[in-house]
Amino acid sequence: MPPRARPGAATDRVPPGLRTAAGYTWRLVLLGVAAYLAVTILTQLELPVIALFLALVITSVLRPAVDLLARVLPRSLAVLLAFLLSIAVVGGVLALVGTTVADEWSRLGTELRGGLGRIDHWLTGAPFHLRPGTVTDLRAKIGAFISAHRSTLISTALSGASRAVELVTGLALAVFCSVFFLHSGDRMWHWAQRQLPARGRPVWYRAGRAAWRTFAGYTRGVLIVAATNAVLVGIALALLGVPLVLPLTVLEFVATLIPLVGSPIALAIAALVALAARGPVIALVVLGLIVVIGQIEGHLLHPLVLGWSVRIHPVVIALSVTGGAVLAGVLGAVVAVPVVSVAWAVISELRDHGTRTRAGARASARE
């Protein structure tokens, strides 16, 4: 009679490495499915998700001012005053930009027409050797294309108008939520904690504290970096005599909110304006600013301003921005880095706390 197979003999024939790989594989598959479902749901709820993200951004920016004003004023009055001051600042900047564009528009039109002629003459020489009238022909082709596709452009503009309505709606919802976050955010967080099981509250408290500290630090830091970049670009453009300095400075500030790629895009637009208005030499100098500003931002501003709140590698930042742009366009590129930073901060906090707890337990056992 053949010997009876002992239990687990078939399992023992599977190499240990394969069993380990299979265990990690099905866990990764489950995580991938969960992430896909989460992204799908968030995509369907795009408007409230964006509004909530903006509300958290507004809260993180205005919270220090509200806390400072609340020392001498009632909390509700401090929130109202902080919002009025921020609206006044943003509205003043936009009004100044509009006034600057209106004042310089006629002069800029003359400079652009002369600049197109200079560009055409420049392209006919070395090293391009294009035929004369290339820029003029290109402008005529663009005009013909616009005339031939006018209905398509109108429908695109109308769809853009509907998106603008959604944007205004989302902004109003964000302001509405941020008012309550600033006024009674602590009470809302404590109420949410009380809905959890008592054993899980400390973990959620530590995770929430780490997430908010990282998100607020990143938001305030990136605004400081964007403002510094905008000031440097504005001073450089003013010294070079490039027109529309203030609008291009504001564009640099907004574009820098998208890490790694935003600032070069804004400076490339400034280089085009410089090329048309001031010639190729000034345009090349503006393009050189991309390298200079990038070095200042990467090696000075980010380590000093963001190093204490965001501790992720630049490669992770680049991959996060790319993945966010693929999944959700420009908005995805904007929110990708803070989302990844918050997730990593929560994981690090819980892991470090677990390590400290186990070390303390071992020390107590030895005693």
Checking if the pLDDT of 327 tops 80, the result is: no
Tell whether 88 and 182 lie within a shared domain.
yes
Q: For the whole model, what pTM was predicted?
A: 0.74
- Judge if 131 and 207 occupy the same domain: no
Residue 284 inside a domain? The answer is yes
What is the SS3 assignment for 306? helix
Query: Looking at residues 39-61, what average pLDDT do you find?
Result: 86
Kindly state whether residues 267 and 311 are assigned to the same domain.
yes
- What is the torsion angle, in degrees rounded to the nearest 10, for the CA atoms of residue 124, residue 129, residue 130 and residue 131? 70
If asked whether residues 143 and 208 sit together in one domain, one would say no
367 falls within a domain:
no
Q: What is the pLDDT of residue 179?
A: 92
pLDDT at residue 119 in the model: 63
Q: Mean pLDDT for the chain? A: 78
pLDDT on residue 177: 92
Compute the average pLDDT of residues 259-276: 80
Helix, strand, coil in percent for the chain, rounding step 5:
85, 0, 15
Sign of CA dihedral 186, 191, 195, 199: positive
Query: How many domains does the chain contain in total?
Result: 2
pLDDT given at position 4:
57
10 inside domain: no
**Stretch 350-357: mean pLDDT:** 71
pLDDT category at 156 given cuts 50, 70, 90 is low
Q: Give the structural domain span for 230.
A: 200-358
Local structure of 244: helix, strand or coil: coil
pLDDT at residue 16 in the model: 80
**Distance, CA of 182 to CA of 161 (rounded, Å):** 31
> Which of these ranges, 188-192, 236-240, 301-305, has the smallest mean pLDDT?
301-305
Contact 217, 309 (CB under 8 A): yes
